[in-house]
Amino acid sequence: MIGAAQAAPYIAGALGVGGVAVWASGQRELVRRWCSWAVIAPVVVGAHYLGTPGIATLVAAIALVAMVEYARTVRLRLPETVVAAVVAAGAPLIEWLAPDVFWRFLLLGGLAVALVPVWTGDGHDGARRTAFALFGTAWLAALSGLVLLGPAAFALCVAVAVADVGAWCGGRLLGGPALSPLSPAKRWGGVLGGAAAGVAVLALFGALTPGLVIAVAVAAPLGDLLESMVKRGSGVKDTGGWLPGMGGLLDRIDSLLLAVPVAVVLS
């Protein structure tokens, strides 16, 4: 299986070729997206190059930022946001440093998240706060599965990222019926294009296993729709605006949030 060190030159080359094509297109939105990828790719490659410590640290930072975005999107209050962020960001670190207590940490953390609205005595909005906080905690803590996947984690991350690009191209070239009312702009042609691109990456990385194929081809697009459902229910288009061309960090990792736990379960 190809690791981060071996793949780094190829990823850099792909970014370079993609950059030339994007700049030649003259489309500002594509240029903005490429600039974001030019920053994201070295960070992800570097974290995986460092092994488990790097992956756990990166996932913890991602979960922390994504929880803040999620809490703002679904209008959580500060107390449960803080507790949920601690649990979600702590999960990958516990999985790395103390795997024997990982599930106890999650269960006790989930209980703490659920009891925050009770502690504040919120009889009007407490049930909604508890439900959304628990969902967000479980959703983002699932990223800690990258620590469990070992070398396959890098292949999965790259495959999901390339599948996202393939879906964008496939949707415009192949078209087809809308994928779901949750995201009318996405087409079945995009699903096929994304699946083909993602599976091709898995094959190139020597990681073509049934579990990873299902995670990339099926779970990843469903993860995208899951986040679309959350955003539509909250009446927002993006969970943030600080990543050029991508919205927020949660908008960037939405596919991984379902692909990772599916890959872990099927591995």
C-alpha–C-alpha distance, residues 147 and 160, integer Å:
17
Q: Residue 246 above 90 pLDDT?
A: no
Q: Give the model's pLDDT for residue 149.
A: 94
209 contacts 259 by C-beta, under 8 angstroms: no
Position with higher pLDDT, 90 vs 10: 90
The pLDDT confidence band at residue 151, using thresholds 50, 70 and 90, is confident
- Say how many Å lie between the first and final Cα of the chain, rounded: 15
Q: Which of 89-103, 147-161, 166-180, 247-261 is predicted least confidently?
A: 166-180
Q: 238 exposed, middle or buried (CB, 10 Å; 0-12, 13-18, 19+)? A: middle
72 contacts 251 by C-beta, under 8 angstroms: no
C-alpha–C-alpha distance, residues 10 and 7, integer Å:
5
Q: Give the model's pLDDT for residue 9.
A: 87
Q: Give the model's pLDDT for residue 30.
A: 82
C-alpha–C-alpha distance, residues 172 and 66, integer Å:
29
Distance of alpha carbon 18 from the chain centroid: 22
> Which residues face 247 on adjacent strands?
243
Query: E strands of the chain, at which residues?
Result: 178-180, 183-187
228 contacts 247 by C-beta, under 8 angstroms: no
C-alpha–C-alpha distance, residues 112 and 106, integer Å:
10
User: What's the whole-number average pLDDT of the chain?
Assistant: 92
113 contacts 67 by C-beta, under 8 angstroms: no
15 contacts 38 by C-beta, under 8 angstroms: yes
Q: What number is the average pLDDT over the span 92-98?
A: 96
Q: Give the model's pLDDT for residue 194.
A: 92
Percent of the chain with pLDDT over 70: 100
The pLDDT confidence band at residue 146, using thresholds 50, 70 and 90, is very high
Eight-state DSSP code of residue 186:
E
Q: Give the model's pLDDT for residue 37.
A: 87
Q: Residue 110 above 90 pLDDT?
A: yes
Q: Residue 175 above 80 pLDDT?
A: no
Position with higher pLDDT, 185 vs 207: 207
Report strand pairing: 183-187 vs 178-180. Answer: antiparallel
Number of other CB atoms surrounding residue 171 within 10 Å: 21
Residues 6 or more apart whose Cβ sits within 8 Å of residue 172: 190
The Cα-based distances of 215 to 87, 200, 212, 244 in angstroms read 24, 14, 5, 27
Position with higher pLDDT, 176 vs 51: 51
The pLDDT confidence band at residue 183, using thresholds 50, 70 and 90, is confident
pTM over 0.85: yes
User: Vertex 13, ends 11 and 18: CA angle to 5°?
Assistant: 95
Residue with tokens 């994928």: 179
Percent of the chain with pLDDT over 90: 69
C-alpha–C-alpha distance, residues 220 and 243, integer Å:
20
Eight-state DSSP code of residue 178:
E
